[in-house]
Amino acid sequence: MRKILILFAHPLPHKSRVNSALVQAVKKMSGVTFHDLYEEYPDFFIDIKREQDLLLQHDLIIWQHPFYWYSAPAILKEWFDLVLEHGFAYGRTGEALKGKFSMSVITTGGSKDTYDYKGHNHYPITQFLLPYKQASTLCQMTYIPPMVFHGTHLMSERDLDIAKMDYIKLISLLRDGKQPLKEIKNNMFANEYLND
């Protein structure tokens, strides 16, 4: 059974109906450690050693956040800058994360068709997430395609229930190791794998 660390970054989670629902769906699952970065570090003084210890204790790291200005909320960038240190996460002697898995779970206000070369945002969302994929590669982790929940502002209760079930299903599959990760990697999004 893989141990999963969800690093959640949302400065105003009580104002996010979708992120709040997704968090409640998975945070108490067996084998899952839920870690709210804004709750833990409201002053942005990140405990680097503690964060590195958490990474060492888990097999899969999930970065869950809303998609803010084509990126993540500020604390997640701070986390990357401080926690993934040279000599720990990368570099000649930095192999602490080698062999682990990582992925992004994000929510967007825009619909899926707005994240396309012909859409309003001009690029697919995977282009905007390349820094996460490259950071994973540099740290010798395997980056799993992201799970993306589009159009959250207009999501119906039924769609939200489906999103929660999909997230639970994905976490269960990844945790229990019942599916070949290569199959998920053949998709642009983890959501697509669940819908096949």
Percent of residues, the chain, with pLDDT higher than 70: 97
Tally of residues, the chain: 196
User: Which carries the bigger pLDDT value, residue 171 or residue 121?
Assistant: 171
The Cα 134–Cα 140 span in angstroms is: 10
Q: Tell me the CATH number at 140.
A: 3.40.50.360
Task: List the domain range (segments joined by +) for residue 62.
Answer: 4-195
Q: Is 68 in a helix, a strand, or coil? A: strand
pLDDT single digits (tens) 34-49: 999 999 999 999 999 9
- Whether the model pTM is above 0.95: no
Instruction: Using alpha carbons, list the distances in angstroms from residue 82 to 5, 46, 51, 56, 86.
Output: 18, 8, 10, 16, 10
Which stretch of DSSP H or E encloses residue 184? helix 181-185
Strand partners, 167: none
With beta carbons less than 8 A apart as the criterion, state whether 134 and 127 touch.
no
pLDDT single digits (tens) 72-113: 999 999 999 999 999 999 999 999 999 999 999 999 887 777
- Total domains in the chain come to 1
Greatest Cα-to-Cα distance within the chain, rounded to the nearest angstrom: 49
Question: What pLDDT is recorded for position 130?
Answer: 93
DSSP string, 124-174: -HHHHTHHHHHHHHHTTPEEPPPEEE--GGG--HHHHHHHHHHHHHHHHHH
Question: Quick one: which of 7, 63, 66, 1 has its CA closest to 33?
Answer: 7
The Cα 37–Cα 81 span in angstroms is: 14
- Lookup: tokens for 57: 């204790």
Q: Is the pLDDT of residue 180 over 70?
A: no
